[in-house]
Structures are given as structure tokens and as C-alpha cells.
Amino acid sequence: MIIPIVGSSAVEFWLGPSSAIFTNYAFNMKKSLVSIPEDFDFLVTADVARYAAKQLDLKLPLQNFSFSHTHHQCGKAAHVLTRYKSFPENSFVKFGLGIHDVYVARPELCFIQVGRSMDLPNHVHLGIKLTAQYYLQKETKAELGRRAFNNLEQKPRAPVATEESLREYLKIATGEYGVKKARAAARYVVELSNSPMESAIATMTIVPFDYGGYGMRRFSMNEEVGLSESAAQYYGYDRLRGDFLWKNQKLILEYNSNQYHNNDKQHSEDTNRINAFQKSGYRVVPITYKNISTFGEMENLMSYLMDELGCPELKFQLESNQDKRRKLWETLIARKS
């Protein structure tokens, strides 16, 4: 039996641990892609949906689809969408789950499907998370100790999508409902975020002013920076990765989270990194959550970055759309504290 998984269920799959457990997709993207048979016999029952959701650690109802209108239904276990035409070639990733074959919509298709109901900032945020190099995993009771059960912890992994793979798929998905909206959002997606907070900061930084962001110049995330000879001797490596890098302006923003930068050893490492960047001619702006913990602090940080980047035209716009920016800050950053 084929179990097709699309929409929000597929996004949950890609952003959680199941994609790392059940597939090697992040390491073998193009070879893992398949097309779903158009004549597959849709027999996903409520029991099968509950079984798949439990095995893959997904919420119910499980979103799937059928090419036949006779199967359209929405219940507590499964929400079956009717599909009247084929998907673009190689739109799914296939793997076995017991006696079933699971076909999960590839991340780029999810970006179109789920983005249909999103505004631009949240659509961009989704793209940044899909192209990030971490996933979120529920911790076990043994790992948690005194902390609350089901807290989400980030784990490193190779990205399941890239800026390039988004662009390539959006080119061929010309007939998909929502593809134009997805193309507009993809212009602002920045790949290789290392944490949920980096993803949130990146979204606010790059989304245009009219949508509640700061409209900053294009930057890269966690890109390798070649160190000068003296810096390499000082640090012991000839390359480092900067959290947010404006290469042409030689500016680096380093986000040091409380979770991973809260001891003397890590503080010493952070200082050495900053010194190595500076010895290589880069200006470094190190921040912690305190620098973005209130809307006022966030505004001050972005104003400072605009000065460093030489963007007086952006500073002028800080006087407008404050309500939109405050709302986006509350959605992306304040609730992550």
C-alpha cells in the first residue's frame, strides 16, 4: 500500500527527526527523488494513517491525497486532498514503512503547498528552516532531567533543501497552484542557518520593510571565511564560518546563544573567533539573546547594522511600519525566549 504524505504533514516530517531516521535524503538528494504512480490504489484507512503518524512522529490528521475525488475526506486521522493532475517529475521521496511504501512530498513542493496560506515573512521563514542545517528533536525524559518533557532540541544535519534546489524546482513547477507566490518568497530565502534563532533573525533581517522586516542587503549564513596568515597562526585553522556574513562590506554578525555559549571555555572560544576574524580584516558584531530580547533592543541592533553597512536609506525607513515589525518580532523572536 502507498501512503502519500503532503502539505503540513510533509513539512513536519522534513523539519523533525524522522527525515534523518528514515531517509538519507539530505546526503543523496537527487538520487532519492521519485515520481508517484498516478494509478496507485488509494487505500489509506484511519488505522493506517494513525500507524504512519505514530511511526513518523507526526501530528494527526495526516495530510495525504488521492487522484480520485471519491476519496476526499477529512477526519481525525486523515485529511485526504483530491488531486486532479500529476505532480512535476521527481516530486517525492520514497521509503519503506513495514509493508507500506511512503511517498513524502519533497521539501521544495512543501514550500509551495504550505506557503499558499502564509504571508511573505512566514513563507520566507519556512524556506529558511527547510534549507537549514539542523532539525528539531523531542528530548527523552532521560535527556531532559528537570526540564519539561517534549522540549525541542536542535540537532545538526545536512540541509534537505538548498537555495538552488528551490529555484530549480520552482522553475519546473509552473502549473502548481501557489508557485508564483513561492517564487516571490524564495528570493529572500537564505540557506545554512544553524539554529531556530538564527532562522528567526535572518527572516526579520532580510524581509522588506513593507512586510515587517528590515530589508537589509543580501547576506550569507555560516559561509566559510578564509583567514589571514597571522589569524590562521593565532587560531590554529585557516578558515572559520561566520553566522551572518556581508562579504563585500566585510561585516560579520555572530549570534551566541545562551544554550551553547554559557561557560568559560566557550566564552574563550568565542573571543578567539572574533580576534581571528578581526585579524583578517573583518568587523564583528557579537550578540546574545539580550540584544534582541525586546523590540527596542532589536531596533537598536538593526539601526547599528545599517550604520555599519552604510545604509542611510534604510535607517530613514525605521520611522515607519513599526507596528508590523513589532508584530513580526513578537511572532518570530519574543516567543522563542
- CA 309 to mean position of chain CA atoms: 25
Distance in angstroms (rounded) separating the CA atoms of residues 29 and 190: 19
Q: State if pTM tops 0.85.
A: yes
Average pLDDT for residues 222-226, to the nearest whole number? 96
> Which grid coordinates belong to 284?
564583528
For 252-283, write each residue's pLDDT tens digit: 999 998 665 566 677 888 899 999 999 999 99
Average pLDDT for residues 14-42, to the nearest whole number? 88
Domains (ranges, CATH) in the chain? Answer: 2-107 (no CATH), 211-337 (3.40.960.10)
**93 or 319, higher pLDDT:** 93
Contact, 222 vs 192, CB < 8 A?
yes
What's the Cα-to-Cα distance from 146 to each of 140, 149, 194, 257, rounded to whole Å?
11, 9, 26, 20
pLDDT confidence of residue 259? 60
> Mean pLDDT, the chain, as a whole number?
90
pLDDT confidence of residue 136? 86
> Which grid coordinates belong to 274?
572574533
Distance in angstroms (rounded) separating the CA atoms of residues 75 and 66: 15
pLDDT band of 39, cuts 50, 70, 90: confident
- Asked whether the predicted pLDDT for residue 147 surpasses 50, the reply is no
For 277-327, write each residue's pLDDT tens digit: 999 999 999 999 999 999 999 999 999 999 999 998 899 899 899 999 999
Beta bridge partners of 65: 81
**113 or 66, higher pLDDT:** 113
Distance in angstroms (rounded) separating the CA atoms of residues 178 and 259: 38
pLDDT band of 11, cuts 50, 70, 90: very high
pLDDT confidence of residue 144? 38
pLDDT band of 112, cuts 50, 70, 90: very high
Average pLDDT for residues 136-163, to the nearest whole number? 66
> Which grid coordinates belong to 314?
534604510
> Which grid coordinates belong to 315?
535607517
Amino acid present at 37: P
Average pLDDT for residues 229-254, to the nearest whole number? 95
